[in-house]
Amino acid sequence: MVSTHPTGVQHSGSQYLPQRHDTSTNLSPNQQLLPLTARVHHHDLLEIGGCDVTTLVEQFGSPLYILDEETLRSACQQYRDAFKRYYKGESQVLYASKAWNCLAVCAIAASEGLGIDVVSGGELYTALQAGVSPNKIYLHGNNKSREELILAIASGVTVVVDNWYELHTLVEIAQPSLPIRIMLRLTPGIECHTHEYIRTGHLDSKFGFDPNDLDEVFTFVSQQSALNCVGVHAHIGSQIFERQPHQDLAAVMVQWLRDATKFGLNITELNVGGGLGIKYIESDDPPSIEEWVKAICQVIQEACAAENLPLPKLLSEPGRSLIATACVTAYTIGSSKVIPEIRTYVAIDGGMSDNPRPITYQSVYRAVVANKMSFPLTETVTIAGKHCESGDILIKNALLPKTQSGDILVVMGTGAYNYSMASNYNRLPRPAAVVVANSEANLILQRETYEDLIRQDRLPERLKK
């Protein structure tokens, strides 16, 4: 609840903190705004993972990504345990690492029994270097290079085949004595209410085989001894709050399993994708992880029973709902600009280079001032980034306490598609990232330096003076 000053002015203190009404109940991280360990101490200071955020900024600089290990592990455990609870067959949760792929995140997910979904050779290499077992790595992508496919084959991971080009390329480079383990990605033709750029399940999509080609694809694959087709895959988008699209998807995919048997294919795995949304702002109301998993498991089991099919190994690949809420980004406030009767701009030391989602997807976020958690909310401001781009606006109409230069602004829900989409626009070095747990902070991504920015530059001799 929002606390109130005697004069009726709202206070920022506890409104965004996880609300634990029953300490015996696990909170679903995707339904929270701040990480599960977020607390206010000494009345004014935000603490995450037992670490004071302002102290972290003093130690590691800003902008700074702060990853709460407990929140990430809780999300992993809730997905893993819910599938074990509600699905009578075998299951495997995969972390969709495009959300944030780095050694530490992959290692944490793997330590909780999760596999890793990768979409490039770089993500695959990182997962392998993090110690993830190849038999729990699945390579996606709509235009995998020959080199990426060769790396995947050599590593022993499963290739999720997206199109005819990939099928033919795999047959060309395969060794007959070592069949390549593949899944087929199909486009289910299911719409969901989300941003246009992140809907991937409708028929007009760059991803997956058209379902009208299903018989032809199954026929081709069944004739290739070099390909061991173990499953089918589909994904309908991300930041989804509705259960029905995923339930419809599950029913369609079981029909694909039935059709595969007509071609002699022994398909034993079914990957329903991910896409569960998170709470970015107060009005967002996503299902909990457990609710989402329960609905998926129920419809798969019912559809398999109706078709008299054995239960497949059920895979899902959540990304955002695993990692987003676990991380916040801390910035230092610098300049401000008041335009009378229009707006007040408050500028931070980062922006679109460390979080491109607002300018790309018009994504919305919430923020607090880490060193003024009990101060009254008296200002409505626009949080502006420091880049030479008028569209570099992180948050419009943010309700904050009165701020000044040097205050620490914390933006919530930045674990997904922030660092992974970060750039060096305006030649800004990418920020550092730390993981916090049990009052200890460890660096997991080092802050780039100016020297890093020119490390790959080459100056021709004729231009040297």
Q: 270 with 313: CB under 8 angstroms?
A: yes
First to last CA, the chain: 64
pLDDT < 70 stretches in the chain? 1-14, 20-25, 189-205, 237-243, 245-247
Retrieve residue 166's tokens. 């990939």
Please tell me what DSSP assigns to residue 262: T
Q: What is the pLDDT of residue 175?
A: 86
Q: 170 with 148: CB under 8 angstroms?
A: no
Q: Is 261 left (phi over 0), alpha (psi -120 to 50) or beta?
A: alpha
Fold for 70-323, please state it. Answer: TIM Barrel (3.20.20)
Check 76, 102, 297, 388 and give the catalytic one. Answer: 388
**Which residues have CB under 8 Å from 337's CB, separation 6+?**
344, 345, 347
Please tell me what DSSP assigns to residue 140: -
- Is the Cα torsion angle 353, 356, 358, 364 positive or negative in sign? negative
pLDDT over 90 for what percent of the chain? 76
Is the link from the previous residue into 312 a cis peptide, with omega within 30 of 0?
A: no
List C-alpha distances in Å: 255 to 185, 187, 252, 267, 291: 14, 13, 5, 12, 24
State how far the Cα of 118 lies from the Cα of 115, in Å rounded to an integer: 10
Q: 430 with 356: CB under 8 angstroms?
A: no
State how far the Cα of 342 lies from the Cα of 46, in Å rounded to an integer: 31
Residues of the chain with CATH 3.20.20.10: 70-323
Give the residue from 161, 162, 239 showing the smallest Cα distance to 198. 239
State how far the Cα of 109 lies from the Cα of 444, in Å rounded to an integer: 14
Alpha helices for 354-396 (secondary structure H):
357-361
Q: What is the pLDDT of residue 255?
A: 84
List C-alpha distances in Å: 251 to 160, 161, 269: 20, 21, 14
- Is the Cα torsion angle 53, 101, 186, 133 positive or negative in sign? negative
Q: What is the pLDDT of residue 189?
A: 61
Q: What is the pLDDT of residue 240?
A: 64
Q: What is the pLDDT of residue 205?
A: 66
- Other beta carbons within 10 Å of 93: 29
388 belongs to the catalytic site: yes
Judged on CB neighbours under 10 Å (0-12, 13-18, 19+), 310 is: exposed
Q: What is the pLDDT of residue 199?
A: 40
State how far the Cα of 15 lies from the Cα of 3, in Å rounded to an integer: 7
For 330, phi then psi, to 5°, come to -100, 130
Spelled out in words, what is the top-level CATH class assigned to the domain 29-62+326-450? mainly beta
Q: What is the CA radius of gyration of the chain?
A: 24
Please tell me what DSSP assigns to residue 266: -
Q: 113 with 69: CB under 8 angstroms?
A: no
